[in-house]
Amino acid sequence: MNLEPQLRPYPTRRTVLKTAATAALAVPLLSACVTSGTKDSGGGTEQGEKTTDNPLGVKTDAPLEVVVFKGGYGDDYAIKAETQYTQHYPKAKVDHKGLQKVGEAMQPRFVAGNPPDVVDNTGAGRLDIATLVSAGQAGDLTDLLDAPAFDVPGKKVRETLLPGVVDDGTFGGSTVALNFTYTVWGVWFSKPFFEAKGWTYPKTWAEMLALCETIKKAGVAPWTYQGKYPEYINDPLLSMAAKVGGKDLIKAVDNLEPGAWKQDGLVQAATAFAELAGKNYLMSGSEALSHTEAQAAWCQKKAAFIPCGSWLESEQKGVAPAGFDMVMGAVPALTASDKQPVAAVQAASSESFLVPSKAKNQAGGKEYLRMLFSKASATEFAKANSTLPAVAGATDGLTLSSGLGSVRDAVVAAGDNTFTYRFRTWYAPLAKAVDDATGELVNKRISPADWSTRIQKAADALAKDATVTKYTR
C-alpha cells in the first residue's frame, strides 16, 4: 500500500508555491507502506484525569510534539497556541517542528508507529488522508468536538466552527481531521477598475457573457486563469453545476453514482465554459501560465476576471498595485431555475490538523487543538494572514481588507447555501481526471459531451476498483 501525496493540494497550493523557488513544485512519490498491517491504535499512553478544567484528561507533565506545515501562513499562529498550552500545563515540554515537506518527513514515523501528537498535514507533499484513514492511522476527534470550547462559554468546539468544517474532516462517519482555515471559491475582480469602467459584476451567466463582450471591446481580456493548473477554472465550472443541479448533483458525483457526470447541470456548466472559450473571452496564452504568471497579468489589468480561492489576496501581496482592491464575487447563476441561489458559494476548510491514532499524547494533542481553534487564536490568525479562519465570528469587529471583507460577506450572504464536493479528497485520481478534462475543454480540444463522457469513464473505473476504499455522503 503506497502512501501517495494528494494530487490536488487545493487551497494549499498557495502556501507551497509561495515559498518555492519555482512556480511548479515536483512532488516525489512516497513509496513506503503506511502501516505494517495492523489497525490497532497503540497510542494514547499519556492520559490524565478528566476534570472541568481539563475536559480531555491531559496528563499535565506529558511532553507534546507538534508538527506544522510552514508555508505562506508561517507557523507563528501555531507557536502562539503552544505558548497557551504551556501556560496551562507548565510541566509539559512542547517540541515544535515547522516543516515544508510534511509528508516526506512524517511518512517514516507513521510507518514506524511513532508519529507526533499533532500533525498539520498540509502542503503539496502532504500525506494522503484517505490512505491514513484506511490504515487506521488517523485518530478520532469526536471527544475534542464535544469538549467545551476554549473561550466561548456554553458551546462545544463543534458549535464554534463554520458550516461544513466537521464534514470536511469526516470519513466513514468518523471525524479524523480538523481544518483551521476556511476557503471560499469564486471569481475575482478589481472593484476600483470596474467602477472606473462602469462595469457591474454579473449575477447571471447571460450577463457575464454580455459584459465579457463589452470588456473585450475595451481592449481588455475578459478572463484569464492559471492554465498550468486547470483545477482553478474547474472550480467555477463545478460551482455553476452545483447551483443548477443542487446538492443532489454533488451527492451523485461524490458517491460515484452511474451517470453522475452526465447530469444536465454538469453538461450545461461545461457548455457555458466552452462558450467562454469559444468566444475568445480567455486571455490569449493563458493555458501556458502558472498561477503566479496569470495572477500577475490580472493584477496588471490585462484581464478583468480570474477564478481563485480566497487565499488570492494574501498571495498577491506585493504584486497587486496600490488601490487595486480586489474582491470576490459568487459564480453567476446559469439558469432561472437553478436549485441553489446565486449567492450560494463553494466553501471548504483547509490546513488540516490530525492527532495520529498512535500518538503517545493524544489527549494533549486534542487539548492543543482546542486552544488553537479558540476564537482568540483564530482572530489573531485572521489579523496576521488576511485569511478567514474556520472558527465562526473570528473576524467580528475587525477592519478587513477588500478581499477578505468580500469573502466574509460572501459567506454571510450564502448562509446555509454553502457547498463542496468531496471527491477531490476521497479520490485524487478522479480529481486529476476532472481537471485534465476541463483543461482540454477550455482550450477547445474537446466538446462538453466529450468532457462528460471522459470523466464518467474515469469515475466508473474508480467505482469498479475494489482496491479503493469508497466513501458516501
Residue 72 sits in the same domain as residue 165: yes
Q: What is the dihedral of CA 425, 455, 471, 331, to 10 degrees?
A: 60
46: pLDDT confidence band, cut at 50, 70 and 90? confident
Residue 57 sits in the same domain as residue 113: yes
- pLDDT surpassing 80 at residue 11: no
Residue 147 sits in the same domain as residue 34: yes
Please give the residue range of the domain that contains residue 378. 10-182+348-403
The two beta strands, 221-223 and 326-329, are unpaired
Give me the percent of the chain exceeding a pLDDT of 90: 81
Residue 218 sits in the same domain as residue 321: yes
C-alpha cell at 98: 515547522
The two beta strands, 345-354 and 118-120, are antiparallel
Residue 189 sits in the same domain as residue 258: yes
Helices marked H in 279-415: 291-299, 312-315, 362-372, 375-385, 402-414
Residue 365 sits in the same domain as residue 451: no
Give the range with max mean pLDDT: 17-21, 165-169, 268-272, 468-472: 268-272
Instruction: Give dist(CA 252, CA 258) in Å, integer.
Output: 8
- pLDDT surpassing 90 at residue 307: yes
- pLDDT surpassing 70 at residue 26: no
Task: Please tell me the total count of domains within the chain.
Answer: 2
Residue 65 sits in the same domain as residue 190: no
- pLDDT surpassing 50 at residue 40: no
290-299 pLDDT, tens per residue? 999 999 999 9
The verdict on residue 240 lying in a domain is: yes
- pLDDT confidence of residue 4: 32
Residue 118 sits in the same domain as residue 196: no
214-265 pLDDT, tens per residue? 999 999 999 999 999 999 999 999 999 999 999 999 999 999 999 999 999 9
Nearest to 324 by CA among 182, 195, 201, 181: 195
Is the pTM of the predicted complex or chain greater than 0.85?
no
33: pLDDT confidence band, cut at 50, 70 and 90? very low
- pLDDT confidence of residue 43: 58
As a whole number, mean pLDDT of residues 365-393 equals 95
Residue 83 sits in the same domain as residue 220: no
- pLDDT confidence of residue 311: 87
Q: What is the mean pLDDT of the chain?
A: 90
- pLDDT confidence of residue 240: 98
